[in-house]
């Protein structure tokens, strides 16, 4: 399954919200009804050692979404194709 195929089913969305970095499973092109799948304190992913913890958290959330989609659709998506969020979904936008 190519990245463009699984994007039709959903995506991993990472958002800095308040004191947390939140991971959501979201439908393509919208955050409406997005499912919160994990959170980590921003202090854990910034500062000393933060880069390593940020990478580990992103990998864990990516693996979870891939597992969830594989369970639902029978094919494991390639989660390596990372894109920045659309401007309207970035922090500070409604």
CA distances (Å), origin 13, targets 16, 31, 61: 10, 8, 10
pLDDT in tens, 27-47: 888 899 999 999 999 999 998
Residue 28's pLDDT is 83
Is pLDDT of 20 > 70? yes
CA distance 27 to 78: 16
- Return the ∠ at Cα 17 (arms to 42 and 8), rounded to 5°: 110
- Per the CB < 8 A criterion, the answer to whether 35 and 51 are in contact is no
CA distance 8 to 73: 12
**Over residues 48-75, mean pLDDT:** 91
């Amino acid at each position: 399954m190519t990245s463009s195929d699984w994007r039709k089913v959903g995506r991993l969305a990472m958002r800095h919200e308040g004191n947390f970095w939140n991971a959501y499973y979201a439908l393509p092109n919208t955050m409406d009804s997005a499912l919160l799948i994990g959170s980590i304190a921003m202090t854990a992913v910034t500062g000393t050692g933060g880069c390593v913890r940020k990478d580990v958290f992103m990998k864990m959330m990516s693996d979870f979404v891939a597992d969830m989609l594989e369970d639902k659709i029978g094919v494991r998506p390639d989660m390596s194709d990372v894109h920045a969020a659309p401007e309207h979904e970035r922090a500070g936008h409604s």
